Each structure stands twice: as C-alpha cells, then as structure tokens.
Amino acid sequence: MQNKDGSVGAVPASGDNELAELGVAAAAAAIRDGDITSESYSAALLRRAREYSDLNSFITIDESAVLAAAKDADKARAAGSSAPFLGVPIGVKDSYTTRGLRTTLGVEALESFVPTEDSDVVGAVKNAGGIVFGKVNLVEMSFGLTGNNSRYGQVKNPYGQDHVPGGSSSGSGASVAARIVPAALGGDTVGSIRVPASLCGVVGFKPTTGRWPTGGVAPISHTLDTTGILARSVEDCALIDQVVTKDVAAPRADRSDLQGARFAYAPRQYMELIDPETEAHFKDTLMRLRDAGAEVVEVDLGEDFSSLADRLTWNLFFRETMESVTEFLRQNNFPVSFDEIYNDLKPELKEVWSHLVLPSGQGYLAHEAYETTLSVDRPELQRRLSKVFTHTGVDALLFPTTPCPAPLIEHRSRFTVAGEEVSDLFLAKNTVPTSGAGLPGISIPIGLTGQGLPVGLEIDGAHGHDRKLLDLARRVESVFGTLPAPA
C-alpha cells in the first residue's frame, strides 16, 4: 500500500476491531446518532489498512485527505446533516476517476495521473456524505480474474494469503473481507464483482446493465460493463444502490422468511464441472432454502446454453475494448493514448490484446460476426433466461458463483478442478451468462471449505428487477448469516 503522506504503520488502538466490523448502514447510523465520530472511525480503518498492508489491496491512500474529510463530516453532523453515508469511508476501484486522487487503471503509464473530476458513482457517494478511503488494487485495465498486477502487485485473499482473491475488482473484495473498509466500488463485465465477492466471502452486487452510471469509469465493453458494489451485507448493497440510482420505488419488505419464494437452478448448465466441496455447499443450500419455506425447481436452459453464453460474451468483451478505451481516454482527458496503454501492458496481456483486441489480430471479430452477436446471439441468451422467470414463475435463478474456491496464487493460470485442468477464465464460467444477458446478479457467502476458503451463491433476478432481487437476497442471507472475519 502506498500512502501519499508517507506515513508508517502503527499499533492498532483498542476498539478498532469493533469499529472495523461496522457495515455502511451501521457506521452511518452510529455517526448520525453521535455514538462514534467519523474521525475516530476513519482513523481506526486507516490503522487497519496499515496492519493489513501485506494483502496489497490498495494502490493509493491519502491519509491526510481521509482524516480531513472525516473532520468535515463531523462538523456537518453537528450542523444537522443526516446524509445517508455521512462520514463513512468507502474503497474505490482504481478504474474510477477520483478528483484530486491518482487514478492508475492498474497500469504504470498512469502512476502519476490525478484527475480533476470524479466519476459519476463516486460523485453520488460523496453527495451522500461518503468519503473516498483510497483506490483499491485491480488487474491491469480490469483484464483478469486472479488479482495479479505486474506493476502494483498480487492482491492476496484474506481467508488464505497464498490464494487468489478473484478479479478484476481484487482489491475491492480483499479490503472489504479484511474489514479495512465496509464497502468498495467495483466493476463487472464478465464477473469482476461477483468472482472476488465469492472467493473473498463478501457480498457482491452487479446491477442490471445500464442501471448504474458508468461515466468516468474505465471500460472494457460498452455493451457489457456495469459498475457495482462489494460489501459485507445485502442491506449495505441495497442502501448504496438506492443512493446511486435514486430508486425509492420499492421499499424493503418487513418479512425475513422465505415462505412463498420460488427459485430455479440449472445443474446441467452451471454444475457440469464443479469442485466437490462447492457442489456439496450448493446442494446443502438448496435443502436449507426448502426447509425455510422456499420452493426450488430444476430447469434446463438448453444443450448449447453455455457455448452460446461464452461465445457472445467473450466476443463482445474483446471486440469492444479498443473503441471503448480509446473514447474513454479522450473524454476524460487522460494523458495517454490507447497505443501507450497497449505498449505498457504486461507481456501475457499484451499478447492477448494483439490477438483479440487489435483490428490487426488474427482473432479480432469481423464486423459481420460482431453484428450477429448483437442482433442474434445476445437476444437469444436473453430470451432463454427471461423464459426462466416468465414460464416457471420463479423469483430468481440460483447457482454457485464460482465453480471452485480460490485457487493458489502459484497456480493462478492453470489449476485442477474435480480432476480436470482449467485456466483462470474458468473462475467466470458461471458469471458469464448473467453478464451476457445484462441481468442483475448478487453473490452472497454460504460457508467455508475445509481449508477455510469461502463459497459463494449467486442469485440472479429478472432484467430490471434489482430492488426485488436485493430484497430476496436479504431474505436468503438471513438463512446463512455472515462469515466470521478472516483469522
């Protein structure tokens, strides 16, 4: 972790652990009620960030700016402010522009760039009283699922520091799990919020694509990209979603039981290759949901569902990168060009871009195939997933967020699941269809493996039904509770 003021570590003050356990809603309420001050809370989190700096979850923290903002929040509270996030620090993925705080996108060419404007979501959080705690680590240009950044280092999983945290919002997942911050903004194109949420044992919410603003956030694919949030409770995700979108149309239901809830699961599509412990946790989850009063039905999405989802999503992912990144750099006055970003990439990523992202690459998708992906393949995927809700009357689709727990860092590129060797892209195997169709999805932790690694459950809702999904996820969460903090 790099601190702008060059400060060094300190011994945590007593009570820091109790403060660090507070979520966004709880911390905001405690500050509003005068039980704690933003300054004391922020100082405790800063001490914790130093204590857990070996996780490498942050690229930049400006401690003096955090404390100054906290003091301002305390003054605002004394003057009568009741802003939703008043005085609560939140981590921000370093793909979001932040006024006055450097934004690197995870690449060396931007290690000194300081934007003059906030991204739209960061602006909304600040307007609600929130404080930018720092910029969390990520994979270069958000291209990767294991948290490995050649310039700013490998992020480590708090539940097992020799294991990956997931990506690309790797620092977001690790910092929230480690109780450094109560929540962190992330971005999701094929699973970059939900994968680290699953592997780090926190809650990760990917809104319906287009629901959250993306202005000022480095893109990959303008069709697939969405901003979102990682936190330790569904309640906190729902609160942040409400503030960012100003959606107050669907207030939270009072009920916490699952009577009358209907879920679908599709084992043929989401459990074809799966880690045995993950499978056992998922099957136990289905049983516990039934015991809690929910109805769970099995569905089949078609023999070619996975190949359809993989093909169209990865086609859009790579085909739209160059145009999206080029336009973003221009619109946001970044002092680099696309070519400079490309030339600065680590060798293995540069090779991928040269083959799939550059128009000169052998794997670059032709215009006709791209149009077919948008006009034929994507609508077909959306039709099949929509049919799950309209024809069966279910409220949500369930599946293991990741088909396996976090692999070892030393095996991050190639590892074995149920006796079969897979690549790191396998971590997004189950999250890809949700992204391809643009549906809302949320990952919640449902337990730990024998090694103490988290297992995640993804709950997907119908397109545009985000508030209903969040309320349903809160009710599911009540069955499982939250994971214990990492040792």
* pLDDT the model gives residue 251: 57
Average predicted confidence (pLDDT) for the chain: 95
Q: Which burial class, exposed, middle or buried, applies to 75 when counting CB atoms under 10 A from its CB (0-12, 13-18, 19+)?
A: exposed
Q: What distances in angstroms separate CA 110 from CA 211, 340, 354, 454, one per listed residue? A: 29, 10, 21, 34
Range name among 142-146, 254-258, 467-471 with the lowest pLDDT average: 254-258
* pLDDT tens readout for residues 66-82: 999 999 999 999 999 99
Residues noted as catalytic:
93, 168, 192
Which DSSP string corresponds to 300-334?
Answer: ---TTHHHHHHHHHHHHHHHTHHHHHHHHHHHTT-
Cβ(218)–Cβ(328) under 8 Å? Answer: yes
d(CA 319, CA 21): 42
* pLDDT tens readout for residues 230-239: 999 999 999 9
Mean pLDDT throughout 288-309? 97
Mean pLDDT throughout 241-258? 81
* pLDDT tens readout for residues 378-403: 999 999 999 999 999 999 999 999 99
Cβ(402)–Cβ(166) under 8 Å? Answer: yes
Classify 422 in phi/psi space as left (phi over 0), alpha (psi -120 to 50) or beta: beta
Query: Is the pLDDT reported for residue 487 higher than 50?
Result: yes
Mean pLDDT throughout 408-421? 96
Residue 159 identity (one-letter amino acid): Y
Mean pLDDT throughout 216-230? 98
* pLDDT tens readout for residues 160-194: 999 999 999 999 999 999 999 999 999 999 999 99
pTM of this structure? 0.96
Residue 438 identity (one-letter amino acid): G
Looking at residue 472, the DSSP 8-state letter turns out to be: H
Range name among 4-8, 312-316, 345-349, 479-483 with the lowest pLDDT average: 4-8
Mean pLDDT throughout 132-146? 97
Which DSSP string corresponds to 129-198?
Answer: T-EEEEEEP--GGG--SS---TTT----BTTBTTB---SSSHHHHHHHHTTSSSEEEEEESSSTTHHHHH
* pLDDT the model gives residue 9: 39
d(CA 354, CA 361): 5
* pLDDT the model gives residue 380: 98
Query: Is the pLDDT reported for residue 8 higher than 50?
Result: no
Mean pLDDT throughout 109-114? 97
Range name among 245-249, 337-341, 349-353 with the lowest pLDDT average: 245-249
Mean pLDDT throughout 342-352? 95
| Position 15 confidence tier, pLDDT thresholds 50, 70, 90 | confident
Please state, for a pLDDT cut of 70, what percent of the chain lies above it: 96
Higher pLDDT among residues 481 and 90, named by residue:
90
Q: How are strands ordered across the β-sheet holding 58-61?
A: 2-3, 58-61, 131-136, 89-93, 183-188, 226-231, 203-206, 441-448, 454-460, 396-400, 262-265, 295-298
Task: Say whether 49 sits in a helix, a strand or coil.
Answer: helix
Query: Is the pLDDT reported for residue 7 higher than 60?
Result: no
* pLDDT the model gives residue 1: 45
| Position 6 confidence tier, pLDDT thresholds 50, 70, 90 | very low
* pLDDT tens readout for residues 20-47: 999 999 999 999 999 999 999 999 999 9
* pLDDT the model gives residue 258: 96
Using alpha carbons only, what angle is made at residue 216 by residues 213 and 217, rounded to the nearest 5 degrees?
A: 80
Mean pLDDT throughout 233-247? 97
Higher pLDDT among residues 327 and 15, named by residue:
327
| Position 255 confidence tier, pLDDT thresholds 50, 70, 90 | confident
Parse the chain into domains and list their residue ranges. Answer: 2-480
Q: Which residues contact 78 (CB under 8 A, 6 or more apart)?
A: none
* pLDDT the model gives residue 248: 77
Mean pLDDT throughout 348-357? 97
d(CA 266, CA 246): 34
Higher pLDDT among residues 130 and 4, named by residue:
130
Q: Is the peptide bond before 175 cis (omega within 30 degrees of 0)?
A: no
Mean pLDDT throughout 54-70? 98
* Topology at the third CATH level for domain 2-480: Amidase signature (AS) enzymes (3.90.1300)
Interstrand relation of 396-400 and 454-460 (parallel, antiparallel or unpaired): antiparallel
E strand or H helix that includes residue 16: helix 16-20
